[in-house]
Amino acid sequence: MENGDVPEDANEHCPGPQSESAGKSDACEGCPNQQICATAPKGPDPDLVAIAERMANVKHKILVLSGKGGVGKSTFSAQLAFALAAKDFQVGLLDIDICGPSIPKMLGLEGQEIHQSNLGWSPVYVESNLGVMSIGFMLPNPDDAVIWRGPRKNGLIKQFLKDVYWGELDFLIVDAPPGTSDEHISIVQCLDATTVDGAIIVTTPQQVSLIDVRKEVSFCKKVGVKVLGVVENMSGLSQPITDLKFMKLTDSGEQNDVTEWVMEIIREKSPELLSLIACSEVFDSSGGGAVKMCSEMGVPFLGKVPLDPLLCKAAEEGRSCFADTRCVSSAPALKKIIDKLMETNGLSMLVSNGV
């Protein structure tokens, strides 16, 4: 990335499209971009200047990344936004998952539209101090596939950073799609001239997920984004025993629902079991999970969040889990993680300063 905008498949000794000798040096012979490079205007990208101006009003920028999809990254981003807004911060949540935006649903904002003013695009507001921007607000039909190759996705991300009028923000949380490709390179390049606090990486305890998270940590190191910490999500299922169903396998392999019968037995013979929480290790963490990976890669571990069906439900319904007293297993875990994040990164100062 140190070469700036030099394409990865450029000729050897490519002087870079921003250089004065772009398209004119010996190395440019035969390059299909020679003509464009020779004639394109030089100097800093005016878009980056505009982005830097917009971002001057944003105190802290946090990226939320994951190597693999479906690990709960958007759920975490959404709950982090709710939590910070509940602390009276001015919060913006930017969804740069162009092909699969989940953020509108997770903030309870489906069907909302973006409005335009002479200051730029207005975010959609959950509350007066929590604004949200996503391509999901721009699709005429929510079922439409956004079949876009990289350059078009990058263009929209640039526009989100340049044209959205957030006003003054304490925090801008950027929810990225999984992986390490166009969207990630673009967001980092676009924010390069501003200060990014760092990235939170979300994973599950599975080996396949941890392999990808290592790639994500490598990515952050390569592009110079600090890893604020890793969150292990879906770290075992955890729910009231009374929420379980019980099945009996018949000889022919069919399953019969015997939940009522079981509950009767428990109520009769051992009612002390009714108040318990049943836990299950859904994803094998015998490899040591994210804790071990973090110590190996030298990045902070922020904590574990159990797979809590009630948290999933809150996310699906666009609600904060912190306002849901039934999320007994997930909400305290998430709260601890967010507190740790704030503390270890000097962000809790803000709270005591009343910012």
Residues 231-290 that bind a copy of itself (CB under 8 A): 237-239, 241, 243-249, 253, 255, 258, 262, 265-266, 269-270, 272-273, 275-284
Of residues 186 through 205, those in contact with a copy of itself by CB under 8 A are: 204
Find all residues with CB under 8 Å of 43, minimum gap 6, and list them: 18
> Using CB under 8 A, which of the segments 49-57, 68-76, 166-174, 191-199 binds a copy of itself?
68-76
Instruction: Kindly determine how many residues on this chain lie close enough to bind a copy of itself according to the rule CB under 8 A.
Output: 97
Give the dihedral of Cα atoms 210, 299, 350, 336; nearest 10 deg.
50
Token digits of residue 168? 């003054």
Task: Tell me the CA distances in angstroms from 271 to 242, 263, 267, 268, 311, one per residue in order.
Answer: 11, 9, 4, 6, 27
303 binds a copy of itself (CB under 8 A): no
Answer for which of 128, 149, 250, 298 binds a copy of itself (CB under 8 A) is 149
Q: How far is residue 332's CA from residue 237's CA, in Å, rounded to a whole number?
A: 15
Of residues 107 through 126, those in contact with a copy of itself by CB under 8 A are: none
Answer for which of 193, 211, 274, 349 binds a copy of itself (CB under 8 A) is 211
Q: Min. distance of Cβ 175 from a copy of itself in angstroms?
A: 12
**Burial class of 64 by CB neighbour count within 10 A (0 to 12, 13 to 18, 19+):** buried
Of residues 313 through 332, those in contact with a copy of itself by CB under 8 A are: 313, 315-316, 328-329, 332
**Burial class of 29 by CB neighbour count within 10 A (0 to 12, 13 to 18, 19+):** exposed
Closest to 191 in 3D by CA, of 51, 12, 349: 51
Pick between residue 42 and residue 152 the one whose CB is nearest to a copy of itself. Answer: 152
Q: Min. distance of Cβ 176 from a copy of itself in angstroms?
A: 12
Answer for which of 11, 79, 134, 206 binds a copy of itself (CB under 8 A) is 206
DSSP of 157-188, one letter per residue? HHHHHHHB---SEEEEEEEPPSSSSHHHHHHH
CB neighbours of residue 224 within 10 Å: 11
Answer for which of 219, 231, 235, 301 binds a copy of itself (CB under 8 A) is 219
Q: What burial letters (b/e) apply to 144-157, b meaning 16+ CB within 10 Å?
A: eebeeeeeebbebb
Answer for which of 15, 17, 67, 289 binds a copy of itself (CB under 8 A) is 67
Q: Min. distance of Cβ 74 from a copy of itself in angstroms?
A: 7
> Using CB under 8 A, which of the segments 47-55, 56-64, 157-165, 219-227 binds a copy of itself?
219-227
> Using CB under 8 A, which of the segments 29-37, 46-54, 122-130, 168-176 binds a copy of itself?
29-37
Answer for which of 49, 119, 193, 208 binds a copy of itself (CB under 8 A) is 208
Pick between residue 307 and residue 347 the one whose CB is nearest to a copy of itself. Answer: 307
Question: Which residue ranges are tagged as binding site for ATP?
Answer: 67-74
